[in-house]
Amino acid sequence: MEALSIQSGLLKGRKISIPNPVHGHSHFTPAKFKKAVFSILESLCLNGKLSKKDSVFIDLFAGSGQMGFESWSRGFEHVVIVELEKKRFQSILEFSNTLKLQIQLHNKDSFRLVKNFILNHKVPIFYIDPPYTFWEVQTHKLTQLLDFCKSQRSVVFVQTPLSIHLEKMDFREIGKNLLWTYVNL
């Protein structure tokens, strides 16, 4: 079975199983994306704009959970992983339980759950990577989700196909996808 690797930190080198595709959705965050996201976050931490202790990394539409696990491995104390599909969630739960990680796991709809994470005055870091077909059929819901996330004191990352354009966000092309970034600290 193929696996994704944690790149850095306490869990460096650990393998996360790639869950089976669901309704044709099988893309996962490439290593170059992870590197770019965590490079930006480390820069914000080094510049004193963000604290790993006082923020919460929220991996929405988590798939394998790799971004949430990577953030925990790199020292983010508060991590939330949200995945609706039951088999994928079970795989995330098993990985977390095997390592006895203190991570919040939710087998719920990211669209409905996201407003619950503006708690305890922690700065939310949202990583949003929905199935790419959502950009065609759930555009309005995704726009509302992004508007909510950007209305907070937050950091927002969004992984999209090249054909998507998001307002008031910076982007960089990485391979066949775009990484969109919004920082409001």
Backbone dihedral angles phi then psi of residue 141, each to the nearest 5 degrees: -65, -40
Rounded to two decimals, what is the model's pTM? 0.92
The pLDDT assigned to 28 comes to 74
The pLDDT assigned to 114 comes to 82
Checking if the pLDDT of 160 tops 80, the result is yes
d(Cα 71, Cα 73) in Å, to the nearest integer?
Answer: 5
pLDDT-based confidence at 134, cuts 50/70/90? confident
Task: Of 73, 78, 118, 127, give the one whose Cα is nearest residue 102.
Answer: 78
Work out the average pLDDT over 65-82: 96
Q: Which residues form the domain of 114? A: 3-19+27-184
Tens-place pLDDT, residues 88-126: 999 999 999 999 999 999 999 999 888 776 656 689 999
DSSP bridge partners of 64: none
State the CATH number of the domain containing residue 51. 3.40.50.150
pLDDT-based confidence at 66, cuts 50/70/90? very high
pLDDT-based confidence at 34, cuts 50/70/90? very high
pLDDT-based confidence at 24, cuts 50/70/90? low
Q: Is residue 93 within 8 Å of residue 24, measured between CB atoms?
A: no
When mean pLDDT is compared across 41-45, 83-87, 179-183, the lowest value belongs to: 83-87
Checking if the pLDDT of 59 tops 90, the result is yes
Total domains, the chain: 1
Task: Of 90, 114, 117, give the one whose Cα is nearest residue 19.
Answer: 90
Local structure of 121: helix, strand or coil:
coil
